Amino acid sequence: MHKVEHTSVKGFDWIINDTAQEEIAQLVQKHEVSEVLARLLISRNVGIDQVEQFLNPTLRKSLPDPFHLLDMEKAAEIISNAIINQEKIVIFGDYDVDGATSSALLKRFFSMLKVDASIYIPDRIGEGYGPSIDAFSYLKEQGTDLIITVDCGTAAFDAIEFGIANELKIIVVDHHLSGDKLPPAHALVNPNRSDETSEYGYLAAVGVAFLVAVAVISTLRKKGFFDINEEPNLLNLLDIVAIGTICDVVPLEELNRAFVIQGLKILNKRKNTGVAAFCKLLNLENELTTYHLGYVIGPRINAGGRVGESSLGARLLSTENPEEALEIAQKLEIYNSERKAIEFNVFEQALVQAKQQSLDDALVMVAGENWHPGVVGIVAGRLKEIMHKPVAVLSLNDENGKASCRSVPGVDFGSAIVAAKEDGILVSGGGHKMAAGFTILVKNLPRLKSFLHNRFIKELSQLTNKHNRYFDAYISTNGVNLSLAKQIEQIGPFGSSNPEPKFILKNVYIAKNNIFAESHISCFIGCAESRNLVNLLKANAFRAIDTELGQVLLDQRTSLDLVGYIRINRWKGRETPEFIIEDIITPFPEL
């Protein structure tokens, strides 16, 4: 039975995860792991017989037969014949990281087979999301035989009908939720199509694209293609799969864990010319981790699609030319700086609106005239973390509004948008559980907000108290060491469905603090009882300036309980443990 342990600066009730001592002892005995690691595994519902596969996931054990997916056999047959017959192939991708990685993966895959496929990424502002009649008309004029859409296409009825009528072969490779009606593509490979029974709906589009590549290799093998051609090693594409999987924030479970863990091994060999260019430009000399994918490389790949040239991310990850890669990386770095400035202005306006909305609303919906559509998704994500509700951020232009949406665990935004579209409220829209997008006539906004509120309030009512947050264990500053940090890393990578372990550091005092990069706070902390100035622990609180949490840290209170994560700081070959502060427990007793 959970019980509330602490209330915090951020207003959360911090509750310790229940873990039976009996189960811990059994796991320690059978697998010879530490008690801390056993506790973390059990709290993540890893069964005693699943431990080995969880800690050491391999593609050999995790990868399903790709042909279990509907239309996969059709897709593999069409693509294989196009390769053999040297048809002109175009990969049509979305402009976000998942679209860029999916496009780059297939481009590199075709290159391995000596096929010169091309990539088409629509411009976010000029063309909008996904396939269009104009784009398909242009590609037909260019002599295209086969179009493979990636991370888009499931809702592109008009464009696909046009393409089929004009004798284009069209394959959709996607992961977004569909309605009951499906587009008339020659093949629709999507684990989230309405008539699909696959258990792999948690894959990012890049993961689905990888399964397509596996199926094509199998089909070509049966056709005797590799009797005279070299068979490529698809494992070399896993670095791209890892980037897309992490950046699309899909659940890091089962196959996705294997993709990311194995992909990081490939990534750190720096074989991808585009990744190597980023590492050179940004002086990333240490081992790359999921942090670098999600917060360093990913946002820069995304920057071209948000505020610059939509094709840059896919071009960067698919080029073999080091000079071209470095030139693209430099452009993306400039666009990323522009994106940050635009995002700051939109976020400030959106936050004011969000805080003015009723606490009883089941979602936050904010809108602004001509807000840059390239940053509304990021702003929605930041607002979600502050408001702890599903969020929709709209850019208004005349009579229309285009939105990006982000959700909270337990609330399915994607299916709600599909339902609203089928109800006639939206012009277009789609997505998945945690993220969605839509286009709407401004006059329909009140109707949409009412529709979403009524739907979400039911879903939220089925959740446990929204103020509850869970942590894994208490620990002292003296108990945080490199050995413990490495044990914690063993259950990574962390993300959706595999949260990073949280700890409460008891009775801490701040020996020293300082502000860095204008908005972050770093501290050296120790045990308040001993006040030993030796072996102090480094701690960081990001974006803490101008927050209540930051004020408490800068006041140098003498006894605090800190909530956060234990990580390894790797710098110039040296490894040290550090603590990332997420929250502070109240009240604060004075010594």
| Percent of the chain scoring above 90 in pLDDT | 65
Convert the pLDDT of each residue in 251-299 to its tens digit. 898 999 999 999 999 999 999 999 999 999 999 988 898 889 998 999 9
What pTM does this model have? 0.85
Environment class of 1 (CB within 10 Å of its CB; exposed 0-12, middle 13-18, buried 19+) = exposed
Token code pair at residue 3: 């019980």
The candidate with the shortest Cα–Cα distance to 544, out of 567, 522, 576, 570, is 522
Structure confidence at residue 589 (pLDDT): 43
**Which is more confidently placed, 3 or 223?**
223
- Angle at CA 432, nearest 5°, toward 213 and 256? 45
Average pLDDT over residues 191-206: 96
Q: What is the DSSP string of 238-280?
A: HHHHHHHHHHTT----HHHHHHHHHHHHHHTTT-SHHHHHHHH
CATH 2.40.50.140 placement within the chain: 6-17+472-586
**Phi/psi zone of residue 167: left (φ > 0), alpha (ψ -120 to 50 degrees), beta?**
left
How confident is the model at residue 10, as a pLDDT? Answer: 84
What is the pairing mode between strands 89-93 and 537-541?
unpaired
Average pLDDT over residues 229-233: 96
Q: What is the pLDDT of residue 587?
A: 53
Top-level CATH class of 62-333?
Answer: alpha beta
Query: For 168-190, how does the pLDDT look when each residue is reduced to its tens digit (9 = 90+)?
Result: 999 999 999 898 999 999 999 99
CB-based burial of residue 524 (10 Å sphere; 0-12 exposed, 13-18 middle, 19+ buried)? middle
Instruction: Give the least confident one: 71-85, 165-179, 372-386, 489-503.
Output: 489-503
Ranges in the chain annotated CATH 3.10.310.30: 357-461
pLDDT tens readout for residues 508-550: 989 888 999 888 999 999 888 777 766 799 999 998 988 889 9
Do residues 106 and 161 touch, judged by C-beta distance below 8 A?
no
pLDDT at 7 over 50: yes
Tokens of 103: 């496009």
Task: Express each pLDDT in 375-407 by its tens digit.
Answer: 999 999 999 988 889 999 999 998 999 999 999
| Residue that wins the pLDDT comparison between 458 and 395 | 395
How many Cα atoms sit within 13 Å of 72 on the Cβ side? Answer: 23
Per-residue pLDDT of 135-148, as tens digits, reads 999 999 999 999 99
pLDDT of residue 5: 55
How is domain 357-461 classified at the architecture level of CATH?
Answer: Roll (3.10)
Average of per-residue pLDDT values in the chain: 91
| The one-letter amino acid at 259 | F
6-17+472-586 CATH: 2.40.50.140
Mean pLDDT throughout 408-427?
A: 92
Q: Is the pLDDT of residue 564 over 80?
A: yes
* Identity of residue 553: L
Helices then strands, each counted (H, E), the chain: 21, 19
SS3 580: strand
Give ranges for CATH 3.90.1640.30 in the chain: 62-333
pLDDT at residue number 590: 43
